[in-house]
């Protein structure tokens, strides 16, 4: 769960979380995670432990969460401080930790993120409705990732000045998130290589936008297929700034500066199932 202030960047939020993270605060954090979520995450992804181990799969999930919060501690110390080892002597060989993380993989953590993000953001949004609509925002950002050969090959980075000078000092990823408008709790996220348009990543998260909602997006999202999602009787509403090049016909005046308009849809968007006019 990440709460982002109005002027705080996502990477700053991560750093601030790490600065206040302690084993005691982790215990408080863990109380918000239903133990059944972790069981469901492992069962749903086929990662549940069958053979009993010193570090079974459910404990590995807690370990990864602990590593994310207690970033200044060696991994073996995280296991000890959070009392994650199973057995009488409560010890785990350091050589056993990497294979345990590989066995569990990323899928259960992705499942757990989606489950907890939906639960926490839905609760928050329900407390801050406007005319019966929950309030959301979708926007993109970029983040630096560790400078490894694998990350450079996959994520690339911002081109560094003139042609031929290569990418920026660190590889970067591009991310799009759906968050509650008031608390800024993240409900869904999609990310990948830096050079991919953020609207491509946004396609992965529209399905997470609930019914009876109002979402604020910037003018880069003035797309027919995005706006048409509000025409499906789902109660999804959109607030976005129009581009200066946006064309439409004023059909009815509703008030000072307010109009009901009709906008023609391109043949390309119609091929994606959008009606001829909005």
- Quick: pLDDT tens for 256-266: 988 999 989 88
Per DSSP, helices labelled H in 149-229 are 149-155, 198-202, 224-227
Spatial neighbors of 96 by CB under 8 A, at least 6 apart, are: 54, 55
Judged against a pLDDT cut of 90, whether residue 123 lies above it is answered with yes
State the Cα–Cα distance between residues 174 and 190, nearest whole angstrom: 9
Say whether pLDDT at 148 is over 60.
yes
Maximum C-alpha span of the chain: 76
How many angstroms separate the CA atoms of 201 and 123, rounded? 25
- pLDDT bracket for residue 67 (50, 70, 90): confident
Cβ neighbours for 134, distance < 8 A, ≥ 6 positions apart: 122, 125, 126, 128, 180, 210, 212, 213, 214
Q: Alpha-carbon distance 165 to 67, whole Å?
A: 36
SS3 of residue 23 by DSSP:
helix
Mean pLDDT score of the chain: 85
Residue 1 pLDDT class (50, 70, 90 cuts)? very low
Query: The whole model's pTM is what?
Result: 0.80
Task: State the average pLDDT over residues 47-66.
Answer: 83
Which candidate, 47, 41, 30, 33, places its Cα nearest to that of 100?
Answer: 47
Structure-token pair, residue 105:
């993989």
CA nearest 202: which of 222, 181, 172?
222
* Pair of tokens at residue 183: 């608390």
């Amino acid at each position: 769960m990440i709460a982002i202030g109005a002027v705080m960047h996502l990477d700053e939020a991560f750093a601030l979380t790490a600065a206040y993270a302690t084993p005691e605060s982790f215990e408080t954090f863990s109380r918000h995670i239903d133990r059944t979520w972790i069981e469901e995450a492992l069962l749903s992804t086929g990662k549940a432990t069958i053979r009993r181990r010193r570090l079974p799969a459910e404990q590995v999930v807690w370990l990864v969460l602990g590593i994310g919060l207690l970033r200044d501690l060696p991994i073996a110390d995280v296991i000890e401080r959070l009392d994650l080892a199973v057995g009488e002597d409560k010890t785990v060989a350091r050589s056993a930790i990497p294979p345990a993380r590989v066995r569990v993989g990323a899928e259960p953590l992705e499942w757990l993120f989606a489950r907890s993000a939906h639960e926490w953001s839905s609760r928050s949004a329900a407390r801050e409705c406007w005319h019966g609509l929950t309030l959301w925002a979708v926007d993109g950002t970029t983040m630096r990732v560790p400078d490894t050969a694998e990350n450079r090959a996959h994520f690339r980075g911002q081109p560094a000045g003139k042609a031929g000078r290569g990418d920026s000092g660190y590889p970067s990823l591009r991310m799009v998130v759906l968050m509650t408008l008031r608390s800024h709790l993240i409900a869904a996220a999609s990310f990948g290589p830096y050079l991919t348009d953020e609207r491509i990543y946004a396609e992965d998260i529209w399905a997470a936008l609930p019914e009876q909602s109002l979402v604020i997006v910037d003018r880069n999202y003035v797309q027919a297929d995005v706006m048409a999602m509000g025409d499906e009787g789902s109660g999804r509403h959109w607030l976005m700034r129009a581009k200066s090049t946006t064309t439409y016909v004023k059909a009815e005046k509703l008030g000072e500066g307010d109009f009901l308009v009709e906008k023609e849809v391109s043949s390309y968007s119609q091929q994606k199932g959008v009606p001829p006019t909005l």
